[in-house]
Amino acid sequence: AQSVAQPEDQVNVAEGNPLTVKCTYSVSGNPYLFWYVQYPNRGLQFLLKYITGDNLVKGSYGFEAEFNKSQTSFHLKKPSALVSDSALYFCAVRDATGGFKTIFGAGTRLFVKA
């Protein structure tokens, strides 16, 4: 069965500092991995994805994520946080070897302090 774990309910970081939002996953086959962001009173927006190839993927708004197969992780990172990055972040996984079901984590709230 597929699953996603986001171990931190909230991450606090000062503006200008690097940020990391953690995600680990479980899937029977190869994974497609995604990060989505949800701003207050707005719908979920796609940030970036890992399909195959380079383990480091770059996405919108300066975010990047590193796929680590041995640790089954897909942590979201940004070198320098902005106050405007404060939002709810969701990691998601879909089994690349079959099925269409996408499983989301419970979300991590990122708070960037000025």
Return the SS3 of 100. Answer: coil
Question: Running DSSP on this structure, what letter comes out for residue 97?
Answer: T
Cβ distance 72 to 25 under 8 Å?
yes
CA distances from 97 to 23, 59, 61, 68 (A): 21, 24, 30, 18
Under the criterion CB under 8 A, does residue 34 sit at the interface with other proteins? yes
The correct pick among 19, 27, 92, 112 for binding other proteins (CB under 8 A) is: 92
Residues 47-86 within binding reach of other proteins (CB under 8 A): 49, 51-52
Under the criterion CB under 8 A, does residue 107 sit at the interface with other proteins? yes
The correct pick among 25, 36, 63, 74 for binding other proteins (CB under 8 A) is: 36
Chain positions contacting other proteins, by CB under 8 A: 4, 32, 34, 36, 42-46, 49, 51-52, 90, 92, 96, 99-107
